[in-house]
Structure 1
Amino acid sequence: MPYLKTSDGGDLCYEEAGEGEPIVFVHEFGGDMRSWEPQMRYFSRRYRCICFNARGYPPSQVPDTLESYTQERAALDIGAVLDHLGLERAHIVGLSMGGFATLHFGLIAPARAISLVVAGAGYGAEKQHEAYFRDVSLEVAAQFEAQGSETFSKTYALAASRIAYLLKDPRGWAEFAGQLAQHSATGAAFTMRGVQARRPSLYDLEDRLKAMQVPTLVVVGDEDDHCLQPGIFLKRTVPACGLAVLPKAGHTLNLEEPALFNQLVGDFLATVGQNRWLARDPRAVPAQIMKTS
């Protein structure tokens, strides 16, 4: 498996498949690059697809200092992937933790993002739940350390937003849970404390998001409760943003509904490629109900 160097000297493992315009897939906290297999197989027929394990996820390096794990660092690591592969620009597709990293990459390096797909991103963004999310993230970190990944994964994989996946695809959910059990407990704990618990609320980024012109697709499941309102916020804030809500779907969107997810993302990428994914027309005034003059 090939490796690349990050800007602070760490090693990340990655895989790629296919040829054409590049797509970089960025995984969620509970997953790793294996989580993108349905997308790697589908999109590599037309695109050059790259996935990688974030820092803290073996066989990528597991740094042993908390300051190595930040939201900014997660976004910079996407840039390190592009740099290593000699790519000036790419489509960036992220889920949950990876969705936040994708959005932040669009903020810090918009010229390098052809487009952004931000899926299942919202945990900790709601201002009224900010303190709770921070506290529960720290508790999750402590439980990974105390119990180990093999044991605590059985609890973590049964979070409310994972139940829809369990019910509709028990075999797929079991594979997800089994892969989670193989994660580094140390890496998981550092990631929870350094990235998840300390990342800024999306609502605190409103001014920067309003200025970001990158074509963006936000995807949420309607049973992923803490992503619904943040998804609407992003739709209303990012100028060239579309919002897709998947019915009876939870958090693990790309695995839970792979065909629908692939169709939505594929149509989005094609529309971006035709320069037709536009910012909202100023005539479409949000406050207007009917026009009278």
Structure 2
Amino acid sequence: MHVTTKDGIRLHVEEAGEGTPILFVHEFGGNHMSWEPQMRFFARRHRCITYAARGYAPSDIPSDMEQYSQALAADDAVAVLDGLGIGKAHIVGLSMGGFATVHFGLRTPERALSLTVAGAGYGCEKEFEEYFRGVSREVADNFERQGAKEFSKIYALGASRVQFQNKDPRGWKEFADRLATHSDLGAAMTMRGVQARRPSFWDLEEGLKSMNVPTLIMVGDEDDHCLQPGIFLKKTIPASGLCVFPKTGHTLNLEEPAAFNAQLAEFIAQVEAGRWLPRDPRAIPGQIMRTN
């Protein structure tokens, strides 16, 4: 099925199962099918929804870069819920989808039962911010010049992707083959309009401090440029927890599906039981040992 955003973009949506809704928001290198291990697992007891972001077939692929932005990416997730008549849902995002999930919580916290932010952080570290913006534009140029079919062979072997290839060659090949089918235009516009222009988490600090939505942050310990942003989110968002997967790269939900599903299921269970709470004020970050 499709839903239509406020600016007229048709988004392809798929769903399965019944129960409390979970909305899955995909990464740049994936698409709606990247969530298949989670759709199959969580549909046993939840209404699971996933969608193709704008710029990803079979959703619309606008040719105007101004129709791509971080704010629009977050609002598209709300549009999916609106189109399905869902008031509130657990929002789960990976990488680009993780950024959309953070902004969902900042812009429309009343629509989120919880937030799961996985593998998010590229471009956030201030010392790498300008480098990231430049390399994002270079990646966009490569998708246009070479096309996804050719450039995917390079992109799929990034420093935080090879862990997936080493552990699960068949799963990684599915990921790489899917990346090769991306729209050249959509990939380029998404890189320029969303990735290269999104704000750092550090620029959002005040808003994050007052965002009281229960939040789970997940990151692989070999996903180097997401580690420090993940720790920053943990220190800043009041009701947040951080899970670090050992010997793991960027594509968390596919690289370690059993661990990802188990951690997410436990988080959602605690949220729904009302037991995922803000940090105890007695847990003072600056205190090493109590002496009086």
TM-score band by shorter chain is: over 0.9
- Gapped regions of structure 2 (runs ≥ 5): none
Q: Given the alignment of the two structures, is residue 115 of structure 1 paired with residue 114 of structure 2, yes or no?
A: yes
Q: Given the alignment of the two structures, is residue 232 of structure 1 paired with residue 249 of structure 2, yes or no?
A: no
Q: How far apart are residue 136 of structure 1 and its match?
A: 0.3
2:194 aligns to what SS in structure 1? helix
Partner of 1:170: 169
Amino acid in the other structure paired with 2:166: L
Q: Given the alignment of the two structures, is residue 261 of structure 1 paired with residue 260 of structure 2, yes or no?
A: yes
Q: Which consecutive aligned stretches of 4+ in structure 1 deviate over 6 angstroms post-superposition?
A: none
Cα deviation, 1:163-187, whole Å, max 9, x if unaligned, reads 1001010100000000000000100
- Gapped regions of structure 1 (runs ≥ 5): none
Separation in structure 1 between the aligned mates of residue 44 and residue 66 of structure 2, nearest angstrom? 39
1:29 aligns to what SS in structure 2? coil
1:62 aligns to what SS in structure 2? coil
Identity %: 66
Partner of 1:62: 61
Aligned residues: 292
Separation in structure 2 between the aligned mates of residue 44 and residue 176 of structure 1, nearest angstrom? 22
1:91 aligns to what SS in structure 2? strand
Q: How far apart are residue 106 of structure 1 and its match?
A: 0.3
Partner of 1:73: 72
Counterpart mapping for 1:1-293 below 5 A: 2-293=1-292
1:15 aligns to what SS in structure 2? strand
Amino acid in the other structure paired with 2:89: A
2:248 aligns to what SS in structure 1? coil
Separation in structure 1 between the aligned mates of residue 5 and residue 89 of structure 2, nearest angstrom? 17
Cα deviation, 1:195-248, whole Å, max 9, x if unaligned, reads 000000000000000000000000000000000000000000000000000000
Amino acid in the other structure paired with 1:54: A
Separation in structure 1 between the aligned mates of residue 250 and residue 95 of structure 2, nearest angstrom? 8
1:160 aligns to what SS in structure 2? coil
Amino acid in the other structure paired with 1:151: E
Q: How far apart are residue 46 of structure 1 and its match?
A: 0.5
1:284 aligns to what SS in structure 2? coil
Separation in structure 1 between the aligned mates of residue 3 and residue 272 of structure 2, nearest angstrom? 28
TM-score (norm 1): 0.99
Cα deviation, 1:59-85, whole Å, max 9, x if unaligned, reads 100011011000000000000001001
Cα deviation, 1:6-65, whole Å, max 9, x if unaligned, reads 111110001000000000000000000100000000000010000000000001000110
2:282 aligns to what SS in structure 1? coil
1:161 aligns to what SS in structure 2? coil
Cα deviation, 1:120-171, whole Å, max 9, x if unaligned, reads 0000000000000000000000000000000000000000000100101010
Separation in structure 1 between the aligned mates of residue 173 and residue 69 of structure 2, nearest angstrom? 30
1:197 aligns to what SS in structure 2? helix
